[in-house]
Amino acid sequence: MEIVAAQIENADLIFEYIKALAVEEALPYQVSVTLEDLKINLLSEDARAEAVLLKSGNRFFGFATFYETFSTTTGKKGIHLDDLYIEPEFRSKGYGKELMNYLTRLAKSRGYARFEWWCMKSNHNAIRFYESLGANNLEDLCIFRMDKSTIDRAE
């Protein structure tokens, strides 16, 4: 198994993984990304986010997307993991742990102070997995979001 940087020619595959993850989270109606969005905002030289793919031989079987953050409390950058998806037949084989370890090492090599992500409260398997890695569930924080329609109404 290897972890490789996603390339523009992987846009279709990443698009399918994003849709599959949304279905698993019972949120397919929230996916509005297009292939063009992915090519420009995730896979171009000017992208503000990054993607990696899990690969065995010539077969891809998962991905992660992440982007750089900044914390005023640490004065340092960090990584926010946006999506992590592994095809069902490849789960429970240690690949998720390898991917998280890869991202942790990446954060360390870049001198980052944090590696953060969100998880659906209903995803108990993921919560147990993340806690087994030593991650802390920040139960005292709430996540707020303004969607595009709210932003568009701003005066």
Residue 2 is given by DSSP the state E
pLDDT band at 147 (very low <50, low <70, confident <90, very high): confident
Alpha-carbon distance of 38 to 15, in angstroms, equals 8
Q: What integer pLDDT is reported at residue 63 of this predicted model?
A: 98
Residue 152 vs residues 9, 71, 145, 146, 149: alpha-carbon distances, Å: 32, 27, 13, 10, 5
- Average pLDDT estimate for 71-87: 97
- Average pLDDT estimate for 48-72: 97
Residue 136 vs residues 61, 84, 125, 141, 143: alpha-carbon distances, Å: 27, 18, 15, 12, 16
Domains of the chain: 2-152 (3.40.630.30)
Give the pTM. Answer: 0.91
Q: What integer pLDDT is reported at residue 145 of this predicted model?
A: 86
What are 11-49's pLDDT values in tens digits? 999 999 999 999 998 889 989 999 999 999 999 999 999
Residue 107 has pLDDT above 90, yes or no: yes
